[in-house]
Amino acid sequence: MGNDSLKDIAIKELLLHLADDDFIHSYRGAEWLGLAPHIEEDVASSSIAQDTMGHAAIYYKLLEEIGVGNADQLAHDRPAKERRNAIILEVVNGPGYYMKDPEYDWAFAVVRNYFYTQAKAIKLQSLHTSSYEPLAEVAQKVQMELYYHLMHWKMWFVQLLGSGHEEAVSRMKAAIEKTLQDFAGVFSLGQYGEEMVELGLIEGEADLQKKWIEAVSPIFESVGLATTFEIRMAKGDGRNGKHTEDLEKALETLSEVYASDKAASW
Amino acid sequence: MSTVLLNTKEIYKLLEDVKDPEIDTVSILDLGMVENVTVSGQDVLVKMLPTFLGCPALSIIQKNVETAIKQHPAVKNVSVEFLRSPSWTSDRITEKGKAGLKLFGISPPPRQMKKDGSWHVDCPYCESTYVTMENIFGPTACRSILYCKSCKNPFEAMKPMIKMI
């Protein structure tokens, strides 16, 4: 029983990491709707946000199947302290509110989206051989969709940094610094990380991070960026329930309709 | 009293009339979304594959499948299940499905991508190969936006979805 229950906890925690990461990432992406730099990008980034919400939904569905709770409830009705997403993904797009004076930073969006999508691709690759069969199956499907997301954000990253445009380059560099400050949170496997690795659910944090660095290094080099950098977790580990006011506000907004009538069928 | 016997063939026949909610020239069968149909007594189970996980049309398609099959007088219960595996890939679209897409102004997905991930389709209207990619992402998750330099029509193409490993 002891071993079994620890295994159950590790599976549940890993699914929550994946679900909550994609959920808040998709929400931040959706906030750009109507505000992206041009109309083609508006179509592209909102399409990516929609795919990503589909990925969150399938992970919440897997949680529902093992009896953790109803998928809608897990998505909408959990306070910030129960969320497992990495803190970097909850950080606001910029000052303001999407309905009023949004001063969102496209450079930060591009950097965060590229870094996260690349990290997600590496995790999915690892999940292919996960000992938890349902997750291995889902990983393959998500990976096929992610292919296009990664291509898209990589293109933006390279074009803005390679543009030679002073403002673009300096804003991208500032965004890279800001993102790396907390990007270790994306690789964190939380307090049950060791169990996850022992059980063969996913590779360890260090391996994931190493593969990520290997994947981004040639891209960094191609735009003249140094490939030695520090990846930190300055604001704390979201996997263990540590979060910021940014997440609380986001949850309040996104669950407003759900909270108005929890029994309603949409 | 005679009993109406059910067989899977009849169910497949009914499914031919269930079209993509946004592309009424292509059935869900021709899109390759139906993996398996099983009949047990008066109950029918349809196992399907989602094209894209976040596609909002999936629940509409599910309802349409149920409605179509219930038309059969011998059917009592219908359940539709979306499978996690195998993954839907764009090469599951049949030749008939490809023709239906073209009729709607959507180029069928190419069979393969180049090494750098780029891919090519011809214009569904004039067959010209002189086209440009405007946006990999389109009005729905499964479609891209292109432009034909020959007949000067914008058109869409179904994105190739190919197994990565």
User: ipTM score of the complex?
Assistant: 0.89
**Cβ pairs bridging A and B (under 8 Å):** 73
pLDDT > 60? residue B23: yes
| % of chain A surpassing 90 pLDDT | 90
pLDDT > 70? residue B2: no
pLDDT > 80? residue B20: yes
Task: Determine the residue of chain A that is closest to B50 in CA distance.
Answer: A141
Residue with the larger pLDDT of the pair A249 and B114:
A249
Q: How many residues does chain A have?
A: 266
Nearest CA distance, A213 vs chain B (angstrom): 21
pLDDT in tens, A4-60: 599 999 999 999 999 999 999 999 999 999 999 999 999 999 999 999 999 999 999
Residue A170 resides in a domain: yes
Task: Spell A155-186 as b/e; 16+ CB within 10 A means b.
Answer: ebbbebbeeeeeebbebbeebbebbbbbbbbb
Residue A136 resides in a domain: yes
Residue A64 resides in a domain: yes
Residue A265 resides in a domain: no
pLDDT in tens, A219-248: 999 999 998 989 999 999 999 999 999 999
What contacts A167, CB < 8 A, 6 or more positions away?
none
Residue A249 resides in a domain: yes
A25-29, A175-179, A198-202, B111-115: the lowest-pLDDT one: B111-115
Owning domain of residue A239 = 6-260
Q: Name the A residues in 134-173 with CB < 8 Å from any B CB.
A: 134, 137-138, 140-145, 147-148, 151-152
Residue A71 resides in a domain: yes
Read off the pTM: 0.94
Nearest CA distance, B3 vs chain A (angstrom): 38
Question: B-chain residues within 8 Å CB-CB of A143?
Answer: 164
Task: Spell B86-107 as b/e; 16+ CB within 10 A means b.
Answer: ebbbbebbeeebbebbbeeebb
Question: B-chain residues within 8 Å CB-CB of A53?
Answer: 54
Torsion over CA: B28, B53, B62, A254 (sign)? negative
Query: Of the candidates B50, B84, B88, which has its C-beta nearest A137's C-beta?
Result: B84
What CATH number should be reported for the domain holding residue A155?
Answer: 1.20.1260.10
What's the total number of domains in chain A? 1
| Contact B126/A at CB under 8 A | no
Q: Which of B49, B53, B118 to mutate to test the interface with A (most CBs of A within 10 A)?
A: B53
Q: Check A137 against B85: CB less than 8 A apart.
A: yes
Q: Which of A51, A64, A122, A141 to mutate to test the interface with B (most CBs of B within 10 A)?
A: A141
Residue A1 resides in a domain: no
Residue A74 resides in a domain: yes
